[in-house]
Amino acid sequence: MSNPTNSTKPAESVQRANGKPGWRLSLDVWAVALALALSFLVWSGVIKRIPW
Amino acid sequence: MADSIVLPQPYPESVFRRVVRLVPGIVLLAAVGYAGKFIEQSIALYGKSHRLALPNIEYVLWAIVIGLVIANTTGVPAAFRAGIATYEFWLKTGIVLLGSRFLLGDVLKLGGISLVLVAIEISVSIAFMHALGRAFKLRPKLTTLLAVGSSICGVSAIIAARGAIDAEDEDASFAIAAILTLGAISLFVFPLIGHSLHMTDVSYGLWAGLGIDNTAEVTAAGALYSDTAAKVAVLAKTARNAMIGFVVLAYAIHWARKERGEGVSNKAAFLWTKFPKFVLGFLLISALATAGAFTKPQLGSLANLSRWAFLLTFAGVGLRTNFADLRRQGLRPFVVGALGEIVIAVLTLGLVFAAGHFLHS
């Protein structure tokens, strides 16, 4: 019978060997982070004016 | 053993490579979008200098048309595709920044009206799509995906529902192709109908937000009408997007019970996973703007940043639409989707006119 503890390790190993992190930020979170960062730069005066 | 694990490639390099792979496509998005803006400005300048009354064709339309021409003639080389796919990221960034142009009170008022209309629209359109699916003998899960796509928010909703109901990839491809084709058609048809009915900016924006499926097409259809219409369309669509978790959860429970006799164990976690987080960012920026955190010039800069983000999105809408691919997906899902869209467009138009009193009070 397979040991449940051992059976999980290869999966983790494969995941780590593939270089994939266990979790990822979603597209939405990245979009919100960029928008907030840009808003902060505008608010703090680092970005003075954005023309259109 | 953990010690014997083969070390992965260094994470920073992997991130760096991924970012580098996006650059050509993002540059193409910027070039196509800016070309649209340049053409609009050049025509306006020519008309002004020669005292000619030329029609003002918005950069939105130029960017989409240039993108469509490239995608359907020369095609988009593989090196550009990853970057072009970021158009949805720019769309969401633009929506969050657009929050700076709304006072929270307006968001609550318009969003509240939108939510009531959205609830009616979703109920009727899901029921109608299922009746159509049965009449056209579509596979039940394909019908579910089409119903989710046309009633809530297009491609994102289909992708969220595909995992939740364990649908076939082929069904998801059919549904996405149908929704994208119909979105592209709506983009051109909605402004024409809006103008012929002399709709106000707010009414038209609300209609576009409720009636068109995909957020990118909603934003473009709103911007083609007017700046205010674009704002209202995005807000109405955001209210619609917020419902995605509830509808997908209901379908997940239905299919889990039907196929495996199970339920969904943690409903709150499921709802949080499916909830579009950019809605929270939009509300946060709107709250900051309402609280007076930004000066007037700063609000102008944030609005312009939002416009630049949308410019990349509009270019992406054209560049990712390939009519040959869409034709290959077959006619029946498209016919079901199209009939559904027409009914939803008429229904939401009726709802918007009925809500006219509340909108303009």
pLDDT of residue A45: 93
* Residue B227 domain flag: yes
The span from the CA of A32 to the CA of B96, in Å, is 6
Cβ under 8 Å to A: B residues 288-307: 288, 293-294, 297-298, 300-302, 304-305, 307
* Residue B2 domain flag: no
The span from the CA of B100 to the CA of B105, in Å, is 13
Q: Nearest residue on chain A to B13, judged by CA atoms?
A: A19
* Residue B255 domain flag: yes
Higher pLDDT, B9 or A50: A50
Question: Which tens digit of pLDDT belongs to each residue from B214-272?
Answer: 888 899 999 999 989 999 999 998 888 888 777 888 888 888 777 766 667 777 887 78
The Cα of A36 is separated from the nearest Cα of chain B by a number of Å equal to: 8
Indicate the helix (H) or strand (E) that contains B72. helix B59-72
pLDDT of residue B94: 92
Q: Predicted confidence band at B11 (pLDDT cuts at 50, 70, 90)?
A: low
pLDDT of residue B102: 83
- 8 Å CB contact between B293 and A43: yes
* Residue B48 domain flag: no
Q: Do B96 and A29 touch (CB under 8 A)?
A: no
Residue with tokens 């997940």: B252
Other CB atoms within a 10 A radius of the CB of residue B283 amount to 18
The span from the CA of B291 to the CA of B285, in Å, is 10
Residue B2, pLDDT > 70, answer no
The Cα of A44 is separated from the nearest Cα of chain B by a number of Å equal to: 10
* Residue B36 domain flag: no
Range of the domain at B321: 90-359
Question: Which tens digit of pLDDT belongs to each residue from B23-76?
Answer: 999 999 999 999 999 998 999 899 888 888 777 778 888 998 999 899 999 989
Domain boundaries, chain A: 23-52
Q: What DSSP string describes B275-298?
A: S-THHHHHHHHHHHHHTT-S-HHH
Chain A residues touching B5 at Cβ < 8 A: 13, 16-17
Q: Do B93 and A31 touch (CB under 8 A)?
A: yes
Q: Do A52 and B307 touch (CB under 8 A)?
A: yes
B41 at the A interface (CB within 8 A)? no
Report the candidate in B166, B168, B144, B148 with the shortest Cα–Cα distance to residue B156. Answer: B148
Higher pLDDT, B354 or A13: B354
**B56: exposed, middle or buried (Cβ count in 10 Å: 0-12, 13-18, 19+):** exposed
Report the candidate in A48, A11, A18 with the shortest Cα–Cα distance to residue B14. Answer: A18
Other CB atoms within a 10 A radius of the CB of residue B300 amount to 18
Mean pLDDT, residues B3-25 taken together = 70
* Residue B94 domain flag: yes
Q: What is the crossing angle of helices B267-274 and B154-165, to 10°?
A: 150
* Residue B154 domain flag: yes
Domains of chain B: total: 1
pLDDT of residue B78: 92
Mean pLDDT, residues B5-14 taken together = 54
| φ, ψ for residue B137, nearest 5 deg | 55, 40
Question: Which tens digit of pLDDT belongs to each residue from B79-113?
Answer: 999 999 999 899 899 999 988 988 888 788 877 88
Residue B176, pLDDT > 70, answer yes
Report for A5-19, B11-25, B180-194: range of highest mean pLDDT: B180-194
pLDDT of residue B332: 73
Q: Nearest residue on chain B to A26, judged by CA atoms?
A: B277
Cβ under 8 Å to A: B residues 106-125: none
| φ, ψ for residue B265, nearest 5 deg | -70, -55
pLDDT of residue B5: 46
Mean pLDDT, residues B332-349 taken together = 84
Q: Do B2 and A28 touch (CB under 8 A)?
A: no
Mean pLDDT, residues B155-170 taken together = 74
Q: Predicted confidence band at B12 (pLDDT cuts at 50, 70, 90)?
A: low
B8 at the A interface (CB within 8 A)? yes
B308 at the A interface (CB within 8 A)? yes
pLDDT of residue A11: 39
Strand runs (DSSP E) across B30-89, as ranges? none
B97 at the A interface (CB within 8 A)? yes
From the list B11, B277, B302, which residue is nearest A28 (CB)?
B277
Token readout for B94 is 């633009």
pLDDT of residue B329: 66
Question: Which tens digit of pLDDT belongs to each residue from A11-46?
Answer: 333 344 444 445 677 888 999 999 999 999 999 999
Q: Nearest residue on chain B to A35, judged by CA atoms?
A: B93
Q: Do A42 and B302 touch (CB under 8 A)?
A: yes
Q: If you average pLDDT over every residue of chain B, what do you get? A: 84
Q: Do B88 and A39 touch (CB under 8 A)?
A: no
Chain A residues touching B97 at Cβ < 8 A: 35, 38-39
CA B37 and chain centroid, separation: 21
Chain B residues touching A52 at Cβ < 8 A: 304, 307-308
Share of chain B above pLDDT 90, in %: 32
Mean pLDDT, residues B297-316 taken together = 92
